[in-house]
Structure 1
Amino acid sequence: MPVIRLAATASRSTLSFRFQQPAMFDTVCTFPLSSDLFAQAIHPSESIVSVGLSSGHVQTFRLPSSGDDDDDGASRASSSNGTGHIDTMWKTRRHKGSCRCLAFGIDGETLYSAGTDGIVKAAKTETGVVENKIAIPPPKDGSGSEVDAPTVIHALSPQTLILATDSSALHLYDLRTPYSKVSARPQQTHHPHDDYVSSLTPLPPSETSTSGFSKQWVTTGGTTLAVTDLRRGVMVRSEDQEEELISSVYIGGLSSSGTSRGEKVIVGGGSGVLTLWEKGAWDDQDERIIVDRGTGGGEALETLALVPDQLGMGKMIAVGLADGRVEFVRIGPNKVVSKVTHDEVEGVVGLGFDVEGRMVSGGGQVVKVWHEAEASEEAEAAGTKRFMDSDDDDDSDSDMDDSDDDDRQGSKKRRKRKRAKGKDRSGGQHITGAFKDLD
């Protein structure tokens, strides 16, 4: 498919397709949370999901894998029949204020969390035991604030951790350094945008890479897109797109012809529009796909996830919207082909796919696990689709003080922080199984 390359002053092509088709995914189970979800991370090689909450808690739970058996021999293969159990591995009050960001390390052995207390903590995925702490540098924007609240955290490689903040700072940390003190300083700091960094997407390593790990990444912030290199710093920043850019994802393996390499970065905007950016041509977007229309602009496209090739659905992305929907967009034909609803009120904060191809969506006080519709319909017919009830439990650490409402809602200028609107609805349920004496 030819790529439409347009200068910044030219009119952009806008594509809008809508097909009424059956939902591609159906809910297998719903997992309640004790307070509003602010961050979600999915393990790279195991069926493990972690969530960061407005209360400062971090909770990690395991989804059943195909072929798992309970002690009594009963099948726990929820990936085929929806009858398995979700086990909480651990839960703890990790941060004062809210937990804003979560990310697994490359090998999945470490879970990184960052909160409005200005601290990054690295914990063992299996136990939740904190091994390292890093203090986020205070902002240098003249605001007078003591804490530069985190917006994005990402493990680029086994050696490099990237942390982005409200003040538009992009800090790079060398993970080979033993951070035994919270005063550890980043190895590099960049400012690729004039506003807070809203998303980060690594670009695949070059063909000549000896490490096999990415050394470049795309960020969005405010109304611009930028590309930063591990060795050379900020390389390019796009023209002003005149709308807020919120989310991003990389997709490769597309049809290549003309100037197109078959590789694109797809960006979700604040007015319901996806923009497609050809890799290597970062001055301006080359296509637009309208996902949601509305008077005065559509719903914000809060989070994007690449649908795994293993599901056989072609080149497709899942789009989490601020009104609680998840839309599925096929790339290439550029068609919005299906949708499901995560929540009728709360927006989708977290979205991704686990190692077995199950979709995990999070928002409000709920995390949902989804299967392909055919398998989920069988589960529903068998009467196995259900709500996961559990006892309430508060595993707050003794060294953690109660959070102020201001901590939980954060700065009003961040769209992601507006999701919670300062609410910490304490009536939710969650599954017990926390470890004691964790940070």
Structure 2
Amino acid sequence: MGRVLFTQKQDDFLFALSFHPSEPFFVKGFSDGTVTACSYDYKGEINNIWTTKRHKGSCRALTYDHEGKFVFSVGLDRVLKKANATDGIVKIKNSSTIDSDPACISVNDTYVAIGTDEGGVYIFNQSDLSLVKHFADVHNDNVAGLFPLPVKNEYTFISCGSTTVSNIDLRKDKPVSESEDQEDDILCGCLSNETTPVFGMSTGVVTVWNQVLEDQQHRIRLSKDSVDCLLPGELDDIVVAGCGDGVAYKVNTRSSLVLKKYNHGGDGVSILEMDYQYHLVTADMDSIKVWMTDEEEKKADKEEGKTTVTNTKRPIENNDSDWESMEEEEEEEEEKKKAEKQTRKKRKRGKASAKSKVHNSRPAISSFDGL
């Protein structure tokens, strides 16, 4: 189980969060439309750098650009704004293009993409926020997840929503491809490596796909509750899945194994982030938690004297009873390993049965009408 570095409680309902790509800063968006930028250290000292009433109604989504110079935010007022990350001053805004409530935001080096509650995707030029392309009705319901596919080109984004996933190329007039109906709400998505999309389902499963989005390659059962957010790990084929049970699961998507659990608690993990030093960040509407890296945990355990003692099973005296006891222990251990191996094989082969569980793709907002 992961260990927390520090926790920050929120006075208002947290709807959006983004950590700076190369420095110890983060920005938060709240249900009242306020956006706040903070600095922090790993002792838990957090200072507000700037705060502004950025949007009318809630701030629905925000993110830094890849260099951390600007913050893009979009609110219930359907206004997209680009602001300096250092002082929060708005450089430019687009207030006349988005025709439905925004649900999520994504950036690559050139474009800003917005997914809406009506299933549409808008793509803007980062420099002047001019509209480049609008795709209407990409999904039957709200766009739950949206992320670029940089290995292909700068024009491609993958979106998920309702029960389908789509491949969008802004040079085309409609999505390049769309998956078959999955008969399960798709609530989030990300890349586990350069070419492998993964998606979180309302039934607590992570599905692993190929790049052309033809169909699921395999499924990983994590929780009885929904998988509400996904984050690429530091290494290829590793993702972190935030679930409605309040736990974030670190998963190897190639082996289908859960590597680690982070018990955030609360009403479930609705936001996942990674800071510039690769610390995992989990959040819900009420709190933000920053977690130790694996190396920091090992160091902390060593300082607290929690060293792991390896049992060599070497007998104290070389007599028959000692050797027989050792052989029995080794046989028991071998049987345990065989049983674990069989369990893993069954887990890989088996498909979790779909449940008809309707779930809002943005749990942090679903309980508040008009936010």
Name the TM-score, length of structure 1 as normaliser.
0.67
Structure 2 counterpart of 1:169: 120
Aligned with 2:221 (options 290, 300, 308): 290
Aligned with 1:235 (options 169, 176, 195): 176
> Hey, what's the Cα distance between the residues in 2 that align with 1:131 and 1:417?
31
Structure 2 counterpart of 1:277: 209
Deviation at 1:41, TM superposition (A): 1.2
> Hey, what's the Cα distance between the residues in 1 that align with 2:302 and 2:193?
37
If asked which structure has higher relative contact order (CA below 8 Å, sep 6+), I would say: 1
Question: Structure 2: which amino acid aligns with 1:285?
Answer: Q
Structure 1 unaligned segments of length 5 or more: list them: 1-22, 65-77, 140-147, 180-184, 207-212, 254-262, 293-297, 384-411, 425-439
Deviation at 1:187, TM superposition (A): 2.6
Matches within 5 A, 1:11-410: 23=1, 25-64=2-41, 78=42, 83=43, 85-135=45-95, 137=97, 139=99, 148-158=100-110, 160-177=111-128, 186-191=131-136, 192-206=138-152, 214-233=154-173, 234-252=175-193, 263-280=195-212, 282-292=213-223, 298-309=224-235, 315-343=237-265, 345-373=266-294, 375-376=296-297
Deviation at 1:265, TM superposition (A): 0.6
Structure 2 counterpart of 1:400: none
Structure 2 unaligned segments of length 5 or more: list them: 305-357
Deviation at 1:201, TM superposition (A): 1.8
Question: Structure 2: which amino acid aligns with 1:55?
Answer: D
Deviation at 1:302, TM superposition (A): 0.8
Q: How many residues align?
A: 315
Deviation at 1:197, TM superposition (A): 0.7
Give the match's secondary structure for 2:292. strand
Per-residue CA deviation, residues 178-237 of structure 1 (Å, 9 max, x unaligned), is x6xxxxx6231113222211101211234xxxxxx6321110010000000121241000
Higher strand proportion: 2
> Hey, what's the Cα distance between the residues in 2 that align with 1:26 and 1:375?
9
Give the match's secondary structure for 2:296. helix
Distance 1:29 1:336, change over 3 A: same
Which has the larger Rg? 2
Distance 1:267 1:203, change over 3 A: same
> Hey, what's the Cα distance between the residues in 1 that align with 2:104 and 2:285?
19
Higher helix proportion: 2
Give the match's secondary structure for 1:59. strand
> Hey, what's the Cα distance between the residues in 2 that align with 1:63 and 1:32?
14
Distance 1:138 1:219, change over 3 A: closer
Deviation at 1:106, TM superposition (A): 2.5
Deviation at 1:278, TM superposition (A): 1.0
Question: Structure 1: which amino acid aligns with 2:9?
Answer: P
